[in-house]
Amino acid sequence: MTEQRLRQGLDAMASQGQSVTFWLRDDDAVEPTPALDRLLGLAQSYHVPLTLAVIPQHTGAALVQCLENQPDLSVAVHGWSHQNHAPATQKKQELGAHRAASVVLAELQAGFDRLKNLHGSRFLPMLVPPWNRIDSALIAPLSSLGFESLSVFGREKQPSPLPLLNTHVDVMDWRGTGGGRNADGLFAEIADWLDRDPPGISPIKALGILTHHLVHDEAVWAFLARLFQLTANHPACRWASARSILSQVD
């Protein structure tokens, strides 16, 4: 079983005094839902810090109240409206070159200000582009808006105008069933990342797990529970908040 392969790999790391840091990012939060409650409860039960990428235009006080009793949760900026501005012949993108940069940056400034005002100390000045895509010309100006980091999907590409903290394993089968991916495949992918990017050598600061609570099926929930059970108390694993990981980035 691939879960056993991951366990054996982690056991080997522990025996060598090595460890891996994981972080959890969930996209598209707007308002309280039963699915969000389920994610919050699962993460809290295993003491897994969570970063919610929130869509600024569509959120408000209800989400603030929902998150009041979450001790280790951060809110990041998920674009502005999560609206696609790319033509049908291209991949979906809100933060592309399809509109004037001044328009896009003004929306991001509005999103930054809105979430900072709503969430206060929970607010993390991180941009999470919708669909994990952003035009490269927009990245450098982000710091002038107050953003201190960027998170997309895949291996971090250096150098970058902003510190990068990416996600690397997506639990959803977007191109297939639209539901959760096979658990064995997910465990294998995590093990592959650890094999390719051994701790202390890789530029990857933490292995990011990406979820989308609004579209989870039972396969996703079951996988997350198994992953947390395996890693939460393993001596070679540490689940850390995005804020703490970024504070250690050079």
**DSSP letters spanning 20-44:** EEEEEEEEEE-S--HHHHHHHHHHH
pLDDT classification of 201: cutoffs 50, 70, 90 = low
CA-to-CA distance for 103 and 117, rounded, in angstroms?
A: 21
Q: Taking 90 as the threshold, does the pLDDT of residue 203 lie above it?
A: no
pLDDT classification of 29: cutoffs 50, 70, 90 = very high
Would residue 224 count as lying in a domain? yes
The confidence score (pLDDT) of residue 39 equals: 98
The confidence score (pLDDT) of residue 219 equals: 95
Please choose, from the candidates 205, 208, 217, 175, the residue with its C-alpha nearest in 3D space to the C-alpha of residue 189: 208
What are φ and ψ of residue 210, in 5° steps?
-110, 125
The string of pLDDT tens digits covering residues 66-76 is 999 998 999 99
Would residue 88 count as lying in a domain? yes
Q: Taking 90 as the threshold, does the pLDDT of residue 93 lie above it?
A: yes
Identify residue 158 by its one-letter amino acid code: Q
The confidence score (pLDDT) of residue 181 equals: 96
Q: Domain tally for the chain?
A: 1
Q: Are 142 and 127 in contact (CB under 8 A)?
A: yes
Would residue 250 count as lying in a domain? no
CATH number at residue 80: 3.20.20.370
Q: Are 30 and 54 in contact (CB under 8 A)?
A: yes
The confidence score (pLDDT) of residue 157 equals: 86
The string of pLDDT tens digits covering residues 41-81 is 999 999 999 999 999 999 999 999 999 999 899 999 999 99
Q: Taking 90 as the threshold, does the pLDDT of residue 200 lie above it?
A: no
The confidence score (pLDDT) of residue 20 equals: 94
Would residue 175 count as lying in a domain? yes
Would residue 149 count as lying in a domain? yes
Please choose, from the candidates 73, 19, 14, 81, the residue with its C-alpha nearest in 3D space to the C-alpha of residue 41: 73
Would residue 199 count as lying in a domain? yes
Q: Taking 90 as the threshold, does the pLDDT of residue 250 lie above it?
A: no
The string of pLDDT tens digits covering residues 134-165 is 999 999 999 999 999 999 999 988 788 999 99
Show the domain range for 98. 2-245
